[in-house]
Chains A and B, each alone.
Chain A
Amino acid sequence: MSNTNEATPPERIPVMQHILDNPFLLLFLGVAMPTVFYIVWGVMEIVTIPVAK
């Protein structure tokens, strides 16, 4: 009789859990999002304001 533990494949970890379990990926996302959408976009808008003559 075979050992049932050996026959059971390892539990598949969902992709979302992989993401949530990776603190450095989360750090990247948490810094990249506001850097792009708030700082870079905002600064680009300010530097393209025409200079008064």
Chain B
Amino acid sequence: MNTLFRTCPQSGLQFDKTAETLMKANAVAGVVFLLVGGILALLVTLTRWPAVHLLPADTFYMTLTAHGIDMLIFWIIFFEIAVLYFCSSTLLRCRLATPRLAWLAFALMLIGSVTANVAIFRGDSSVMMTSYAPMQAHPAFYLGLILFAVGALVSCFIFLGTLVIAKAENTYEGSIPLVTFGALTACIIAVFTIASGAIILIPTFLWSVGLISHIDPLMYKTVWWAFGHSSQQINVSAHVAVWYAIAAIAFGAKPMSEKVSRTAFLLYILFLQLASAHHLLTDPGISSEWKIFNTSYAMYLAVLASMVHGLTVPGSVEVAQRKKGFNKGLFEWLRKAPWGNPVFSGMFISLIGFGFLGGISGVMMGTEQLNLIVHNTLYVPGHFHATVVVGTTLAFMALTYFLIPVLFRREVILPGLAKWQPYLFGIGMGAFSLFMMGAGTLGVSRRHWDIAFAGSPMAYEYPATAYLLLGLMAVSGLVAMVGGAAYLLITVGSLLWGKKLEPVSYRKETVPLRLAPGAPAIEAHGGVGVGGFAAPGTFVLALVFLVSFVLYYFINWKYLSQTWGLS
């Protein structure tokens, strides 16, 4: 066998040479799409800011389509494939399954993503990310997405194949590590997501070339959301896995309970994808039983899993910090956390933003009755910018600061800027999401180029507050974009001009599993904490979260009660 391995002197992690190159290729492709999507984000934001209103209508819809596809699909899935290879080959210290096929998968994804972008920028595929039939894009748009999906699906099976190799070659003992289990969850959700995409996009492609006469809009919408929303659930599972990884990397933290965390991931596997139904809550033709089972019952079990992760990740950090002596009061462990380390600060802001902004708003929107208040308003992108941008993108950014020296063997340039980057991006994007949700609550529509419908017989006068919120949204968005630009400057600059770390030699054989990335792992969480609680600070934070959750939920029922006055 021609596999070559190297061991990172800083982290002790072991890299298969081919897997390492594939991780780099996927991560770099992802970052290129983040750059393209980021430039488009600037144009979209400056158009949705009523005082600027930059682009004409047709260019705005084209830009918004490309922004959605490049960010929500291409940036995130390319990076996730890098995470899958890292969590299998590197964390299990084994060779990657079928590396040639992995390169073919990468090529398919690259060709697909470029093809879809070309189709969009030609100007005849401005159908938004959702591309609802009967709106029709150029066939190359659907073909590009299909090629990308096939490549991503092949990569998922390469991840599963690598798990089989690791087990067969005994490169680990017992169960796979929790971080790899989280990546497995993401992979399973990805398989369902991509298969759903194929089920709907292949006939839609055939319709666009004239081989099928009709696509039923409701059928399209139902199956498309199994792809469109579940793709965001891949992100949730992947970034939760990244949170656990960073807790271990930055603190040597061990999960508070492996059993509980794995069960929470199982709840994701079983129920998370069913939440796609909340996009159809106002559609006639599908029964309330289907809507309520999929959103209210099944989705709540997935929400429970997110709350478990939201408790156990900071809880494990708290226990590790208390073990190191930061044991005073409720929050010394948090005050003395390494807030200047972007790996930690990025992860923690991602966790708080995902829970408080994305999580709570998601449950609100997923309730059939409450959904009526905000359906198809700007509230929806407000919610998913909190989950996918503050949650996933910021977690991936945090992980990058760890990967630059470990994977790319370069020093991070501009460390002072790197220290501030997660705050600029996380707080800017958190405020952006919040103001978007505020404008959505006032009824501002989700996608419309001009909220006032100026010059139209259907003109509508929104309250002045809506315009104020859109202005604040845009300013916050600009702050986040400065943070995003800083990330791109630091990562690309580090790869090009960062000081090279000492060269490492490759060898032909693997070495036994040694789990010591960064700080030494703690053995147990007995003997620390306050009042019998191992992680009392986290418990208090969880209570604050629950109170906010309940209050916000009932405030929205109050809003709903005022929608139609009873005489």
Contacts and interface: CB of A to CB of B under 8 A. Distances in A.
B294 interface: yes
A27 B216 contact: no
B490 to A, nearest CB: 36
B184 A23 contact: yes
Q: From DSSP, what is the main secondary structure of chain B's interface residues?
A: helix
Contacts of B189: 30
A51 to B, nearest CB: 11
B192 A49 contact: no
Given A26-B184, A42-B290, A46-B285, A37 B298 contact: yes
Interface residues of B, number: 39
A26 B273 contact: no
Given A21-B175, A26-B269, A49-B285, A34 B188 contact: no
B267 to A, nearest CB: 11
B293 A37 contact: yes
Interface string A8-46: 000000001101110110110111011101110111011
Q: Interface size for chain A: under 10, 10 to 19, 20 to 34, or 35 or more residues?
A: 20 to 34
Nearest to A37: B274
Given A37-B293, A37-B294, A38-B294, A30 B226 contact: no
Interface in B274-311: 274, 276-277, 280, 285-287, 290, 293-294, 298
B266 A20 contact: yes
Given A38-B273, A39-B226, A46-B216, A23 B192 contact: no
Interface in B201-246: 216, 218-219, 222-223, 226, 230
A13 to B, nearest CB: 9
Contact of B271 (A19, A20, A33, A46): A33
B334 interface: no
Nearest to B222: A42
B158 to A, nearest CB: 13
B85 to A, nearest CB: 16
A34 B290 contact: no
A17 to B, nearest CB: 7
Contact of A29 (B196, B218, B263, B270): B270
A34 B184 contact: no
Contacts of B262: 20
Contacts of B5: none
A23 B184 CA distance: 7
A24 B163 CA distance: 10
Contact of B269 (A29, A38, A46): A29
Q: From DSSP, what is the main secondary structure of chain A's interface residues?
A: helix
B195 interface: yes
A38 B266 contact: no
A4 B305 CA distance: 42
Nearest to A33: B270
Interface in B250-268: 262-263, 266
A31 B285 contact: no
A26 B175 CA distance: 14
B191 interface: yes
Given A38-B294, A43-B223, A45-B287, A31 B266 contact: no
A16 B175 CA distance: 12
A46 B222 contact: yes
Contacts of B280: 42
B181 interface: yes
Contacts of A16: 263
A33 B280 CA distance: 19
Contact of A38 (B188, B195, B263, B276): B276
A26 B163 CA distance: 13
Nearest to B297: A37
Contact of A27 (B160, B222, B277, B290): B160
B290 A45 contact: yes
A8 B235 CA distance: 44
A35 B184 CA distance: 19
A19 B293 CA distance: 25
A41 B294 CA distance: 10
Interface of B: 160, 163, 175-176, 181, 184-185, 188-189, 191-192, 195-196, 199, 216, 218-219, 222-223, 226, 230, 262-263, 266, 269-271, 273-274, 276-277, 280, 285-287, 290, 293-294, 298
Given A37-B274, A46-B222, 16 more contacts: A20-B266, A23-B163, A23-B184, A29-B269, A29-B270, A30-B185, A30-B273, A31-B191, A33-B273, A35-B192, A38-B273, A38-B294, A39-B223, A39-B226, A43-B223, A46-B285
15 contacts: A20-B175, A21-B176, A24-B160, A30-B188, A30-B189, A30-B192, A31-B188, A34-B192, A34-B226, A34-B274, A39-B199, A39-B222, A39-B223, A46-B219, A46-B285
Q: Ordered nearest first, which 8 A-B pairs have the shortest CB separation?
A: A30-B188, A34-B273, A30-B269, A42-B222, A31-B192, A45-B286, A27-B188, A33-B270
